[in-house]
A and B are shown apart, each in its own frame.
Chain A
């Protein structure tokens, strides 16, 4: 991604149309569809933050839901217990996710590959366990209910579904912009180099660990941002929000959408959210479908939706470096 041409013309047009639809369609959608779209945006933020680790750094994490949980619980506890202002809840959510990522990174980055997967899984379970057992703070399994919609001190209220949707859209675009700038930066390139050859990066003069550590913290912080949005959207926070299943789904969103593309995982997030909710109307065996989608992706579209799309429009196999771990 070093040459960084702006997106090709046809893709600019395609994305422009999607953005336009996202802006104009809400008043015409049923409240069910609108809530799914809002969820898709919020999970999109989570998936994009995970993409920084999985796609750009080549570090598959199975504990990313922990950061969503940290952001969500910050908002839950602060607003229901202390009546905190939304900006403060946001700041605390981000800082807490950042701080925990800074500690977890010290442990997790000692490993790579499958071991990294296992350590992040274990660390994720620590946060889940904390939410589950620290009843005095988190109300345990009952969760925290009655989280109010945010009040940002703006002339608009976000209590209703449509304004909240637009707020989520703005938040999503902001997260996308931040990550987009980072992956195109010299630092973002160093992450890609580390993914491709750690040993060469080291002898070239990079402190590989430090670059990974910074990347890990950024991914965790943006993951926390998705949690803040989730708490405000859902009005209810519980340990179920950060189960292992959520981490697995996030990883699937990245794989399905296409690694190291940012927008791919966001599209993957939308696909999973819609699929999950539509399929679960007909069957309780949602997880089975999830597994089938995962296997199908790995076998037939290892580059994900973004990769398959590139192949379709250009008639060539996509440059795997842009999307492969």
Chain B
């Protein structure tokens, strides 16, 4: 086993049970810094639940999670974010009644001590605005600053999801189906955007679309009923009979 201190993320025997249902069942996973890893699996495989365990939104019922060598199993989400983790959501989770820029500013100041400043106006912190605008530019939303988020198209909202995650300059990025609900053209743009991200960022991406998954990453982990059933390079995984059975059905 690799030294956990050198890993970006390490899960060992992580489980999450909802009553009798074991949504995530003894998952162990090591991700090295800078790695791009896809998590695939059929509906209900426990992919999104696994993400909420990693981000800290739900406590695991068993197992241990380390982030950059630190045990974070019991840490709340905001403490994990402070260690350099950010996530996006499959079902868009933004601030729909605020503007694009306001959304981004909230993300930019999230990890800065200035978020507790209450003695002067936010507009007096030009640095935050600069960061927010550059995050918007990075995802192709420049010029949309003043739009109210709920008036954006679905595709633009997905882009903003990414911008919010990038705004805090994360070291580990969890992307939950970034292309969900996008048209093929939009999906192509999104894939291009994700491929251009700083290679130093470690990325874990849940993808339904196998083609997108293999375009973004070399290595794939397959989840089925909460268990890891295959883990390896794209072609190995594709050739795995168990994976074929799940995706294509029994012959």
Cβ contact within 8 Å between B97 and A186 = no
Cβ contact within 8 Å between A181 and B120 = yes
- Closest chain B residue to A187, Cβ basis: B118
Cβ contact within 8 Å between A185 and B106 = no
Which residues of the partner chain A approach B94 to less than 8 Å between Cβ atoms? 197, 200
- CB A215 to nearest CB in B, in angstroms, measures 10
Which residues of the partner chain A approach B95 to less than 8 Å between Cβ atoms? 193, 196-197, 200
Find A204's partner among B56, B120, B164 (CB 8 Å cutoff): B164
Which residues of the partner chain A approach B118 to less than 8 Å between Cβ atoms? 181-182, 185-188
8 A Cβ contacts from B76-110 to A:
76-78, 81-82, 86-87, 89, 93-99, 101-102, 105-107, 109-110
Cβ contact within 8 Å between B97 and A187 = no
Residues A186 and B115 in contact in the complex (CB < 8 Å), given A201-B106, A324-B97: yes
Number of interface residues of A (CB under 8 A): 32
Give the complex CA separation of A206 and B119 in angstroms.
19
Number of interface residues of B (CB under 8 A): 42
Decide yes or no whether B48 CB sits under 8 A from chain A. no
Which residues of the partner chain A approach B77 to less than 8 Å between Cβ atoms? 202-203, 205
Residues A2 and B57 in contact in the complex (CB < 8 Å), given A186-B114, A205-B110: no
Cβ contact within 8 Å between A2 and B101 = yes
Give the complex CA separation of A191 and B176 in angstroms.
26
Decide yes or no whether A4 CB sits under 8 A from chain B. yes
Which residues of the partner chain B approach A211 to less than 8 Å between Cβ atoms? 115
Which residues of the partner chain A approach B110 to less than 8 Å between Cβ atoms? 201, 204-206
Residues A4 and B93 in contact in the complex (CB < 8 Å), given A202-B76, A203-B55, A203-B57: no
8 A Cβ contacts from A203-231 to B:
203-208, 211, 214
Cβ contact within 8 Å between A196 and B96 = yes
Residues A185 and B57 in contact in the complex (CB < 8 Å), given A2-B98, A203-B86: no
Which residues of the partner chain A approach B116 to less than 8 Å between Cβ atoms? 186-187, 214
Which residues of the partner chain B approach A190 to less than 8 Å between Cβ atoms? 106, 109, 115
Decide yes or no whether B121 CB sits under 8 A from chain A. yes
Give the complex CA separation of A214 and B119 in angstroms.
14
- Closest chain B residue to A197, Cβ basis: B95
Decide yes or no whether A284 CB sits under 8 A from chain B. no
Cβ contact within 8 Å between B78 and A208 = yes
Cβ contact within 8 Å between B119 and A181 = yes
Chain A 62-75, CB within 8 Å of chain B: the 1/0 string?
00000000000000
Give the complex CA separation of A181 and B122 in angstroms.
10
Which residues of the partner chain A approach B98 to less than 8 Å between Cβ atoms? 2, 192-193, 196, 321
8 A Cβ contacts from B151-169 to A:
164, 168
Which residues of the partner chain B approach A196 to less than 8 Å between Cβ atoms? 95-98
Q: Is the interface of A mostly helix, strand, loop or mixed?
A: helix
Cβ contact within 8 Å between B93 and A199 = yes
Cβ contact within 8 Å between A204 and B117 = no
- CB B70 to nearest CB in A, in angstroms, measures 16
Cβ contact within 8 Å between A199 and B57 = yes
Give the complex CA separation of A184 and B77 in angstroms.
26
Cβ contact within 8 Å between A187 and B115 = yes
Give the complex CA separation of A320 and B119 in angstroms.
26
Decide yes or no whether B125 CB sits under 8 A from chain A. yes
Find B78's partner among A182, A192, A202 (CB 8 Å cutoff): A202
Give the complex CA separation of A211 and B95 in angstroms.
17
Give the complex CA separation of A40 and B43 in angstroms.
59
Chain B 49-64, CB within 8 Å of chain A: the 1/0 string?
0000001110000000
Find B168's partner among A3, A197, A204, A214 (CB 8 Å cutoff): A204
Decide yes or no whether A319 CB sits under 8 A from chain B. yes
- Closest chain A residue to B84, Cβ basis: A205
Cβ contact within 8 Å between B117 and A184 = no
- Closest chain A residue to B106, Cβ basis: A193
Give the complex CA separation of A66 and B89 in angstroms.
41
Cβ contact within 8 Å between A205 and B123 = no
Which residues of the partner chain B approach A185 to less than 8 Å between Cβ atoms? 117-122
Decide yes or no whether A310 CB sits under 8 A from chain B. no
- Closest chain A residue to B120, Cβ basis: A185
Decide yes or no whether A297 CB sits under 8 A from chain B. no
Residues A4 and B148 in contact in the complex (CB < 8 Å), given A193-B95, A206-B78: no
- Closest chain B residue to A202, Cβ basis: B77
8 A Cβ contacts from A160-197 to B:
181-182, 184-190, 192-193, 196-197
- CB B245 to nearest CB in A, in angstroms, measures 35
Query: 12 A-B Cβ contacts within 8 A?
Result: A2-B101, A2-B102, A184-B123, A185-B117, A190-B115, A193-B106, A202-B78, A203-B77, A203-B78, A204-B168, A208-B78, A214-B116
State the B residues within 8 Å of A (CB).
Answer: 55-57, 76-78, 81-82, 86-87, 89, 93-99, 101-102, 105-107, 109-111, 114-123, 125, 128, 146, 148, 164, 168
Q: Ordered nearest first, which 9 A-B pairs have the shortest CB separation?
A: A321-B97, A205-B81, A205-B110, A187-B118, A204-B110, A196-B95, A2-B102, A184-B121, A185-B118
